[in-house]
Chains A and B, each alone.
Chain A
Amino acid sequence: MQKITREQLIEKASALLSNSTVSCVLGWGMGEFDYDVTPTTFNSVEELEKGFVFSDFCGANFSKYLVKKAAACEGKILVFLKPCDTYSFNQLLTEHRFDREKVYVVGIPCEGMADINKVKAICGEGILSIGSKGDKMTVTTLYDDEPVSIDAKEVLAERCLNCKSKKHVAFDELLGDEGDVIESNRFDEVARLEAMTPDERFAFWQNELSRCIRCNACRDACPACTCEKCVFDNPNSGVENKSPANSFEEKLFHIIRAYHVAGRCTDCGECSRVCPQNIPLHLLNRKFIKDINEFYGEYQAGAEEGQRAPLVDYTTEDLEPGEVFDRRDSDA
């Protein structure tokens, strides 16, 4: 489904390595299967040729890696960023989390990434290979004699179905065609929950969050969660917590996680992508984004470097906390 090819990316990376613009490349490394791609640093053209892949399963947002890798790389590091990744990139720059001068950004177009869970929901377990051609994916499995052809749109990840932008907001160079900010329906699901009764909402989240195993994947993959030490890991914070002993602690962790990134979250969707329990964590973040948009005016974190996040800003005319509900009730 992707319009840009592995070969184009390798060619670009090789050129930048060869003319010493960059000394290493952050890209996608080949896995055991066609879908288990690992973020990998490549140091030479040979390594790229051997291990670099690009496919519909290259969803990982590389921005956060730059916090560690930009400093560790001797020269500049080349990073391939999809449009949504560039928002995180800007947000991290706004927060001074790495040195822009150490990074060379090649913006690449993205047609939306696939969700392997959706592929498996259609094709079942036992996937041997996944090929992609145009809008179709060809899946061979252990249990089907013939390869199964599926519509690539059908297996798009949730975040890509609700893609907010095909436009790169930060780059040194672009490959392929530049897109635009998109009118998405990403808040529909939040609105659906808002329309429920409190009891229904409570039941919904109780069910979702009860699956949480506190593996911290959501936090550790989140490009906004780059704290040197998370409050939940810090024995001196007073709220250190390693596992959810009960439903209160499940809620506490996820409320605070979302609150700490409120106004900073770019809605990249990594939290939900990596959740082993498929908890729709992005809905918590989106709730904050939707509220901020409605209360304080449209705000897209990471749209520009140096923006002031809404929760570290104010106007004298802001609405009162009590009016939050009056507003919504009158809307309803």
Chain B
Amino acid sequence: MFQSDKTMNISRHYLAFNKALNRFLLLTLILFTCQLTMASEGGGQHQKGKYTELEMMKGERLFKGLIPFQEGFKDCASCHYTKTNKEIDWNPSAYDLAVLSREDTAYLSGAISGSRFQGVKGHEEVSLTNKETELVEAYFSKLADHGLKKHKPVPEKTLIFFGTGFLMLLALIELIFLKKIKIKAIPVLVLLVALGFHLKVVSEEAISLGRSENYAPNQPIKFSHKVHVKQNKIDCKYCHTGVDNSQNAGIPSNNLCLNCHNVVREGSNSGTFEINKIHRAAEQEEPIEWKKVHDLPDHVFFSHATHVQNGNLDCAECHGQVEEMHIVEQVEDLSMGWCIECHRETEVDFDNKYYSKNFEELHQKMEEGQIDAVTVDEVGGINCMKCHY
């Protein structure tokens, strides 16, 4: 998708390196670097500000309903989610609220006193005491710095990996030294199953190293392609203007959004809340930091122009049914093998005048009717220099 800007992201090399190294170490079961990275992760300083850790914690519990509110209503988190999610949730997330609350200190108290959210569905029964407001604000202050918690898949693969590793060790010890179990088949079976599992995990990890299929991050604005493309019938190229003439398809700039949203101030799903973010960004002159979904590594050069213009590729061939997605998800693994496979099968437009100068042999074959089409790899489409330089 969007061609990354190489220069700005030297650091990504290291990320890739780090990742590769980390995985490598994981695969070789060397634990200590993991500890290193964990240490560096934990090293981040909490911005305490005016709230104490305790207040933040209490606020968090209130918000999540672990401690009941005095006025009786249950919790906030059932509507305002606190973890990133796979399915779209049109309600404002806790993080959104936290950011707003950081900008406007009276935001939350306004909400509770009812003035701000009069008429907003679901807030009828909400009322907080001053102390509670303060605690929730404390939680918000923490949340605004840290963002939403990552939605983690359970069970933890790594844990199972080590668990089965341990089992394997036990089985081996049993087989060689202890010999307590009379039926030899049991430890042997355990050993084989665990070994098989390990091989599977290792090969899967190795294959998916650096791939991010099914990556679907939550974006700062709940921009739904389904709403815009399917319901409103907006063409992809209306926003992704670079597709035809640049390597990058381009993420639309804010003023492009405003072309419509100057008028359309309220959405069908999220009301004004999400659309307001665009206006806020325009006012504050801060661009929106979208999360990049389709990301190719720095050493891969890909041009949308060639693929869309010359190759006549439909967006969906690489990006999937975006018009069906609320949250955009990477549907292909974007691996080199995937590219190569397509290049081996896809036919080029051999009538393009560019090909008229050289490629005599192919032209001849074509004339003689030996072949009726030329694939990309026949004109050098699987050479390294096509994508790596």
Do chains A and B interact in one complex?
Answer: no
Which residues of B are interface residues toward A (Cβ below 8 A)? none
Question: Which A residues lie at the B interface, using CB under 8 A?
Answer: none
